[in-house]
Homo-oligomer: A and B are copies of this chain.
């Protein structure tokens, strides 16, 4: 039931927005009473926190696998990171959009928790870039912080437009972006 309430609210928050969605709307969506809602969540804000924590928790656990795969070099790990982000659009687009859009509706203590995890995710990607510099895969003089944010920009932006059912698959898009990030678009 808890998951059903979460799923219904993800759908409604994405469609109408967090503020515009009432607890009554969420309960009504799956034909239960408000009492049922309050049995599982103290408030709508607690539910929003759960959506955020679920989403970033999912990304961090996927990232963990990528980082610890000793069979992959830094280029592969960057590839896997971008693929993971673009691939998760298929199932997690709504969660991701709520994640980016409704953050300011989190209570300050939840927001902080959330920011810490987001920062950890970004710093882990930066770790991959730095490993690549150290091991001689990437250029020595990179501003690894800014480059990491640029790479995340490429991947995260796709949440706003990418259609996984369209002409270009998530795998193809990842390869196009990795090629640009690694080798650039200049004619050699």
Contacts and interface: CB of A to CB of B under 8 A. Distances in A.
Identical subunits present = 2
A116 interface: no
A contact residues, range: 35 or more
Nearest to A144: B185
Contacts of A181: 180, 184-185
- 8 nearest CB pairs, A to B: A153-B157, A184-B184, A183-B184, A153-B154, A182-B186, A150-B154, A153-B153, A182-B184
Nearest to A160: B100
A101 B97 CA distance: 10
Interface of A: 17, 19-20, 75, 100-101, 104-105, 129, 132, 136-140, 142-143, 146-147, 149-150, 152-158, 160-161, 168, 173, 176-177, 180-188
Given A17-B105, A136-B187, 14 more contacts: A19-B20, A75-B186, A101-B101, A139-B185, A143-B168, A149-B161, A150-B154, A153-B155, A153-B156, A153-B157, A153-B158, A154-B157, A181-B184, A184-B184
A147 B186 CA distance: 12
Nearest to A185: B138
- Most chain-B Cβ atoms within 10 A of its Cβ — which of A19, A150, A176? A150
Given A19-B20, A104-B17, A157-B157, A150 B176 contact: yes
Contacts of A147: 176, 180, 185
A85 to B, nearest CB: 11
A137 B187 contact: yes
A143 B184 CA distance: 13
